[in-house]
Structure 1
Amino acid sequence: MNEVIVIGGGPGGYTAALRASQLGKKVTLIEKKQLGGTCLNVGCIPTKSLLDSSHTWAKSKELFYKNEDADVPWETIFSRKEKTVQQLRKGIESLLKAGKINVIEGIASLDGDMRVIVNENKDLSLTADNIILATGSKPALPPITGIELPGVLTSDEIHSLEKLPKSLSIIGGGVIGIEFANIFAELGVKVHVIEAADRILSNMDKDISSQLKECLEKMGVEFSLNKKVIQIVKDSSNQLKIDLAGVESIKSEKVLVAVGREAVFDPLMLEKNGIIVEQGKIKVDHYQRTNLPGIYAIGDCSTSLMLAHVAMAEGKVAVEHVLGLSPNPVVYDYVPKCVYTHPEAASVGLTAEEARSRGFNIEEGVFPIRANGRALIEGEPAGFIKVITDKSLGRLLGVHLLSPHATEFIAQATIALQLEATADELISMIYPHPSFVEGIQEAALTINHGAIHLPLVRN
């Protein structure tokens, strides 16, 4: 008998399996497609590879040869992405093998009494003391007429594009849509983003939303905000035409539907087994337990914060709780949220609006990236660093970055929030110079008009 069965081999699932193996448990991992899940195969990793390549291409053109007619090396970019994915997938396979984890390829479903069957084959049934559900998510498809037309792609399908389109419309101005807008705009594709809300990245700091939109517009991206898509049709010239509410319509060669993702758990037969699902997610407690003893759920199928690093953290919590180790539950306020555009955006903690809604009397410090030496060295002066503190105690409540390398140095802010650091403690540190991260200190200093690299303000 297995001590732990993990269903799903994405970041949360393979992390849970490896952690359980480290702690001496006999583990079986069941995966229906490819190890690594959405993140590795059609999400985080390939998208960031494309972003790195697109930025390198755009910067090289700007700095060295400025040839507007140069052909984009799409085959090389595509091949680099594929090689990266394959190398990392082999790495996961090696880790699971080294951990002596039994990996089974197939579709798993629950059959009561802590039993799992694979591919609806009763002959291949497994039992376990504990089961961890990590079945992930899939692209959400809104009910739009014409969404099934050839050339209308999901964020999964767009990674199979073997030829660069001349034009691309993107339905959705969230993280996925905005990252792809950046990629294709830097590669010279005409991009138009359609968003139902009044701003892009609506769950992030408002200044990040507005300034990143400006940066993308300088790349040539066009936006239609506060717009509802009515239908998609093929016109007489074989272009895809998106009709919006009112009289506006947009034409393009390809359409990307990027309105978010939804949990996948259909094969599990959750209702038949009595597992509670609420608002499209498996209901869990702080330790990732479902309502059935011994069954846990982690990652996209159970959390509203669909991030690979959240799934990994939840996987560790679930496994350590199985072993009675009293793990600390995930504190979602302290989860960094990242957008890998150019410049990058990253946030941790509360926005100003969230802080005020929780009753805090706040102070904000903002430092513009154009005043940072490293930004000028790299030729990327757009963006800012913002810190939000509680006015009475000086405690750090949130940090919001729009800056090159923001997704790297947001980690320092995450540590500071977890340690309940104050603005004074950020100020008292010594930072490397020149660096982007020293902007966090400067932002904290601006609260009392003490930033060194901004015009002097006398108190």
Structure 2
Amino acid sequence: MASRVVIIGGGPGGYEAAIVARKQGAEVTLIERQGLGGNAVLTDVVPSKTVIATAEWRTIADRAPSLGIRDSDGSDTAEFSEHTVDMAAVNERIQKLVLKQSFDIAQAMAKNDIQVVEGTGRLVSPTTVETENDSFNADAVLLALGARPRTLPTCEPDGKRILTWTQLYDLTELPSHLIVVGSGVTGAEFAGAYRLLGSEVTLISSGDRVLSNQDPEASALITDVFANRGMKVVGGARASAAVSTGDGVKVTLSDGTVIEGSHCLMAVGSIPNTADAGLEVAGVNLDKHGYIEVDRVSRTSARGVYAAGDCTGVFPLASVAATQGRIAMAHALGDAVSPLDLGHISANVFTTPEIASVGATEAQLKDRGIFYEVSRMDLARNPRAKMLGIDQGFVKIFGHTVTGQVLGAVIVGSRAGEHIFPLSLAVSQHLTVDHIAEAFTVYPSLSGTISEAARRLHNMTDPQKAQV
């Protein structure tokens, strides 16, 4: 059983693992070069979702007239185009939240007597980690190296007009016209947020619809929402070049079309921070994309060396990184281990409305030949949604036609990421649709639609209803 643990990287995979290891009685050293919290806290999840939360407020304000709220002079409250956003104030608030969250993590490290070392960690063997000034021996090492934004040679970010998602928080003014290259989760989230904040937005999508990896109905709904809010989505296109013109940018597409804007956000994926970490020397294998190969308990090919988070390429979610880190320490320290099950992961896209999902997708169920039935209900029918002026979104549940087991689910709507939890619990614990249907929900509540959708799947015994 390991008694000395060294962790390289202070993001969710690292700091969560550190606490678990310390509570198991290990001596823990955590090495971080950028700041506790890693990208998730400093440059990615916390700041981006704060921007999105600010943007979402505008959709709430825009519903005010229909709810009977008026200005003091009796006129309707300001419409979408009349609200203004102080981008400098938004980003100042973000920086304060980032520092507060990083400080809270530092406090947790101190409380648990975890040694935090500033610097860049590098393996010199499976049991030895070096920084610029020190060397640490370990019985177990966890690599939580993270990842960085991928860039294109012809679209190099300059931090002023051509930006990665880590560079948006230095803006002091709202972009007048933001061109977003990439319509995956990151691109769609920022495109939607900045459109709500008041920017003109052009979204460059390589596919015909945004968020092409999401449930097709969910993707189509978000695509329509973006269009209705005045966003221009250029489908079936790729950016071949982006150049700064001093006071703006020009983005050239592969077909020769040139789009001009004030700023360009490159959201074309990420690259693992696995270079120059001593992985080859220590015998840690990488896949063809440079990600660390791990098994379901986070072990690498090197004995005693584990890895967690974005550097593994398993699933680019902070929750997955934290889970991988916790599993790694449980395995290294001889505790009970539940291997990572990708089929149980719940995920959320923070567009407005949000897309939350868990378990198998409908496409996966069809590919596997599993007998299932779908129950889908629009949130607009929900009484609580009516009270709140919510008229977009739906709940969709996939149930096994023989056992009734919940196989997967999708929720599109306000705070979908909060409402997916009971369905996530159902998938992970192999509950049936009847278990969901028989549990009490508050009336009125948005979660009531989950219960109602589950009730519709009661007695799925007719073979004619099965879909394969």
| Structure-2-length-normalised TM-score | 0.91
Q: Which amino acid aligns with 1:43?
A: D
Q: Which amino acid aligns with 2:381?
A: A
Query: 5 Å matches for 1:6-405?
Result: 6-63=7-64, 65-66=77-78, 68-112=81-125, 114-119=127-132, 121=133, 124-145=134-155, 150-234=160-244, 238-279=247-288, 280-405=290-415
Which region of structure 1 is more displaced relative to structure 2, 340-349 or 58-67? Answer: 58-67
Which region of structure 1 is more displaced relative to structure 2, 22-31 or 212-221? Answer: 212-221
Q: Does the 8 Å contact 2:145/2:274 carry over to 1? A: yes
Classify the secondary structure of the residue corresponding to 1:287.
coil
Q: Which amino acid aligns with 1:163?
A: E
| Structure 1 CA distance for aligned equivalents of residues 126 and 340 of structure 2 | 29
| Structure 2 CA distance for aligned equivalents of residues 5 and 372 of structure 1 | 51
* Aligned-pair CA distance for 1:258: 0.7
Q: What's the counterpart of residue 74 of structure 2?
A: none
Q: Which amino acid aligns with 1:267?
A: D
Does residue 433 of the first structure (1) align with residue 443 of the second (2)?
A: yes
Structure 1: which 4+ aligned runs deviate by more than 4 Å?
Answer: 145-150, 447-450
Q: Which amino acid aligns with 2:403?
A: L
Classify the secondary structure of the residue corresponding to 1:126.
strand
| Structure 2 CA distance for aligned equivalents of residues 149 and 414 of structure 1 | 39
Could you list the per-position Cα deviations for residues 274-314 of structure 1 after superposition, in whole angstroms to 9, with x for gaps in the alignment?
Answer: 21101321111121111111111111111330100001111
Q: Which amino acid aligns with 2:60?
A: K
Q: Which amino acid aligns with 2:315?
A: L
Could you list the per-position Cα deviations for residues 96-132 of structure 1 after superposition, in whole angstroms to 9, with x for gaps in the alignment?
Answer: 001111100001111125111102x4xx111111110
| Structure 2 CA distance for aligned equivalents of residues 260 and 435 of structure 1 | 37
| Structure 1 CA distance for aligned equivalents of residues 267 and 23 of structure 2 | 37
| Structure 1 CA distance for aligned equivalents of residues 229 and 297 of structure 2 | 44
* Aligned-pair CA distance for 1:29: 0.3
| Structure 2 CA distance for aligned equivalents of residues 104 and 147 of structure 1 | 31
Q: Does the 8 Å contact 2:356/2:412 carry over to 1? A: yes
Q: What's the counterpart of residue 456 of structure 1?
A: none
Classify the secondary structure of the residue corresponding to 1:19.
helix
* Aligned-pair CA distance for 1:316: 0.8
CA shift in 2, pair 1:254/1:303, >3 Å: same
Classify the secondary structure of the residue corresponding to 1:283.
coil
Could you list the per-position Cα deviations for residues 1-57 of structure 1 after superposition, in whole angstroms to 9, with x for gaps in the alignment?
Answer: 970000000011000011111111110000011110111111111111111111213
Q: Does the 8 Å contact 1:114/1:127 carry over to 2? A: yes
Q: Does the 8 Å contact 2:126/2:283 carry over to 1? A: no
| Structure 1 CA distance for aligned equivalents of residues 270 and 113 of structure 2 | 32
| Structure 1 CA distance for aligned equivalents of residues 404 and 124 of structure 2 | 54
Q: What's the counterpart of residue 463 of structure 2?
A: none
Report the RMSD for the aligned CA atoms in angstroms.
Answer: 2.0
- Which structure 1 segments of 5+ residues have no match? 451-459
Could you list the per-position Cα deviations for residues 122-181 of structure 1 after superposition, in whole angstroms to 9, with x for gaps in the alignment?
Answer: xx1111111100011111113435555851100111122222111101011111111111
Classify the secondary structure of the residue corresponding to 2:420.
helix
* Aligned-pair CA distance for 1:249: 2.6
Q: Which amino acid aligns with 2:192?
A: N
| Structure 2 CA distance for aligned equivalents of residues 361 and 168 of structure 1 | 45
CA shift in 2, pair 1:431/1:276, >3 Å: same
* Aligned-pair CA distance for 1:234: 4.1
| Structure 2 CA distance for aligned equivalents of residues 247 and 107 of structure 1 | 43
* Aligned-pair CA distance for 1:446: 3.8
Q: Which amino acid aligns with 1:286?
A: R
* Aligned-pair CA distance for 1:400: 0.3
| Structure-1-length-normalised TM-score | 0.93
| Structure 1 CA distance for aligned equivalents of residues 37 and 156 of structure 2 | 31
Classify the secondary structure of the residue corresponding to 2:138.
strand
CA shift in 2, pair 1:220/1:43, >3 Å: same
* Aligned-pair CA distance for 1:204: 1.5
* Aligned-pair CA distance for 1:238: 4.0
Q: What's the counterpart of residue 455 of structure 1?
A: none
CA shift in 2, pair 1:149/1:232, >3 Å: farther
Q: Percent identity?
A: 30
Which region of structure 1 is more displaced relative to structure 2, 273-282 or 406-415? Answer: 273-282
Which region of structure 1 is more displaced relative to structure 2, 25-34 or 45-54? Answer: 45-54
Classify the secondary structure of the residue corresponding to 1:282.
coil
Q: Does the 8 Å contact 1:212/1:402 carry over to 2? A: no
1:417 corresponds, among 407, 415, 427, to 427
Q: Does the 8 Å contact 1:2/1:28 carry over to 2? A: no
Q: Does the 8 Å contact 2:373/2:457 carry over to 1? A: yes
Q: Does the 8 Å contact 1:2/1:126 carry over to 2? A: no
